[in-house]
Structure formats: structure tokens, C-alpha cells
Amino acid sequence: MANTPQAKKRIRRNAARTIVNGNRVGRIRTFVKKCESALIAGDKDAAAAALVQVQPELMRGVAKGVYHKNTASRKFSRLTKAVAALA
């Protein structure tokens, strides 16, 4: 158990950050799932439109520290490749 005031503050701050970061990751996953569902349906226009929305969300996740840069790049690369394969 935390004894010092600073340790208690860190516990409070970590709890708040966990909630915020969880919401950020959930938002990114929602955009990725929209793109993936359009891919599964075979709708190239919807998939391309969703892909345009995914890229800034992934990069925002990198900037906020919830995703590693390479993880976001890998996810975007795979989605881009899948959308291009629909043609």
C-alpha cells in the first residue's frame, strides 16, 4: 500500500490515465473495425473512406502514447494492403 503522499497521488493519476487511455484505444479500435467490416463486405468505396479516417486516429494514438509507432504503422500498412487488394 502506498504510504507517501506522492505514491498516493501516482495511484490517483494512474487510475485517471487508465480510463482516458482505454477510451482512446477503444476509439481507434472502432475506426479499425469499420474499415475491416467494409473489407469483409467487399465494399471498396466504404473501405477506402474508412481507411482515410483510420490513419489520423492511429497517429493520434501514437502521439498520445497508447500505441507504439511501429504498431500503428503495421496496422495501417495491413489495412492499406487489404483495401488495395479489393480492386
- pLDDT digit string (tens) for 26-55? 999 999 999 999 999 999 999 999 999 999
pLDDT interval class at 58 (50, 70, 90): very high
Domains of the chain: 5-85 (1.20.58.110)
Alpha helices in the chain (DSSP H): 5-41, 44-64, 69-85
pTM listed for this prediction: 0.85
Task: Report whether 45 contacts 87 (CB < 8 A).
Answer: no
Q: What is the pLDDT of residues 59-78, one digit of tens each?
A: 999 999 999 999 999 999 99
Do residues 49 and 35 make contact, with C-beta atoms less than 8 angstroms apart?
A: no
Whose CA is closest to 52, among 25, 79, 85?
A: 79
C-beta atoms surrounding 32 within 10 Å:
19
